[in-house]
Amino acid sequence: MAESRPSVRRRRLAATLVRLREEAGKTPEQAAERIGCHRSKISRIENARLGISLGELRDLLMFYGIEDAQFIEGLVDLARKGNERGWTRHLGTTLPSYADHIDYEQTADYIRSYQPLLIPGLFQTPDYARALYRTNPEMISLEGVEKLVETRMRRQAVLDEPGAPRICVIEGEAALRSQVGGSKVMGPQLDRLVELADRPNIEMQVLPLNTGAHVGLIGAFVLFGFPTPAFSDVVCVEHVTGSLHMETPEETGRYTLAFDSLRSAALSPADSSELIQQIRHELQLTEGRGDHHAYP
């Protein structure tokens, strides 16, 4: 039986096969004749409702005139792992866009994130995440909050894996000074940022409050890059009811330009780390005066 929600890998493979067939000038009927099946099977494969055998995939790629060995092997690996979801399968279908976002995090080798108002999910401490989730007016169950916090912490395991992705984050100064959960929460959160910024695969820059007008006023976004040419870049923009994922060259290209512009406007990594530590010191002084408001 076909899955109710095809995996990210299967959907990416399906979209790629449609593009390659169309670029080769072939019809679904011709593709079906090539691998000896009914046209409906090609339709189900291209709609990500059905997987494809590795032999059929290689045959179709040859039929479409694809000769790049690296590209072919990337697609074959994608087909081989088409049903894999990792631990995100436990999220079920209630949070599909969230699960997709996690799938991208787990398979990307380069993540660029611009976060003007919040600490990125991959960098959040449990208390910071908990404070954020408790502000959601729909989140009335403490048990539900804890499950989401647990999920967010499990996402961070990718940071400690041997093949951890390269991560570039541009953090708005407002996110560092915002009292999410109070100073008792923000202090350890800032310590966590300083520790992460010291890792060789992580680059963190702060966009100062006095920057003035800049392209980042469009809002937060994340760019995912992947280790195989069979994967196009993906842009993620979160909103109140879910996430929007975009992957056309025009869309990802515009966000890449925006990110590059923000990197130029932001402080250097060294100056950014110094600013984070300065803000952390200011928090310690505040705590020393007893002038803080922790999240209940």
66 and 95 share a domain?
no
Residue 66 lies in a domain: yes
211 and 100 share a domain?
yes
Q: Are 193 and 119 spatial neighbours (Cβ–Cβ below 8 Å)?
A: yes
Residue 103 tokens, joined = 């799938």
Of 80, 104, 137, at which residue does a domain stop?
80
Residue 136 lies in a domain: yes
229 and 180 share a domain?
yes
13 and 123 share a domain?
no
Residue 3 lies in a domain: no
What's the domain range around 199? Answer: 87-288
Give a three-class secondary structure readout of 48-73.
CCCCCCHHHHHHHHHHCCCCCHHHHH
Residue 71 lies in a domain: yes
Q: Which amino acid is at 293?
A: H
Backbone phi, then psi, for 204, in 5-degree steps? -125, 130
Domain of residue 96, CATH code? 3.30.870
55 and 187 share a domain?
no
Q: Are 175 and 189 spatial neighbours (Cβ–Cβ below 8 Å)?
A: no
Of 63, 80, 97, at which residue does a domain stop?
80
Q: How many domains does the chain have?
A: 2
Residue 130 lies in a domain: yes
Residue 101 lies in a domain: yes
pLDDT tens track, the chain, 296 positions: 344 456 667 877 888 899 899 999 999 999 999 999 999 999 989 888 888 999 999 999 999 999 998 889 888 887 887 665 554 444 443 454 567 788 788 888 999 999 999 999 999 999 999 999 888 777 567 888 888 899 899 999 999 988 899 999 999 999 999 999 999 999 999 999 999 999 999 999 999 999 989 999 989 999 999 876 667 788 999 877 677 888 888 999 999 999 999 999 999 999 999 999 999 999 888 776 665 554 44
- The conformation of residue 110, written as its DSSP 8-state character, comes to E
193 and 257 share a domain?
yes
Of 30, 57, 80, at which residue does a domain stop?
80
145 and 166 share a domain?
yes
Q: For residue 204, give the H/E element and its range.
A: strand 202-207
Domain of residue 26, CATH code? 1.10.260.40
29 and 115 share a domain?
no
Helix or strand or coil: residue 95?
coil
